[in-house]
Amino acid sequence: MKSVVLSAVLLAVSGVALAGPACNAPKEKWMPEASFKKGLEDQGYQIKTFKVSKGQCYEIYGFDKTGKKVEIYFDPVTAAVLETK
How do residues 23-64 score in pLDDT, each as one tens digit? 999 999 999 999 999 999 999 999 999 999 999 999 999 999
Confirm whether 12 is domain-assigned.
no
Confirm whether 68 is domain-assigned.
yes
Confirm whether 7 is domain-assigned.
no
DSSP strands (E only) in the chain: 46-52, 58-63, 69-74, 81-84
How far, in Å, CA of 56 to CA of 20, rounded? Answer: 10
Confirm whether 15 is domain-assigned.
no
Q: Taking 80 as the threshold, does the pLDDT of residue 19 lie above it?
A: no
Confirm whether 5 is domain-assigned.
no
Domain at 63, CATH number: 3.10.450
Structural domain boundaries enclosing 65: 21-84
Average pLDDT of the segment spanning 56-85: 97
Per-residue pLDDT band for 6 (boundaries 50, 70, 90) equals very low
- Closest of 70, 84, 78, 82 to residue 21, by C-alpha: 82
For the entire predicted model, the pTM comes to 0.76
Count of domains for the chain: 1
Contacts of 37 (CB under 8 A, 6+ apart): 47, 50
Confirm whether 1 is domain-assigned.
no
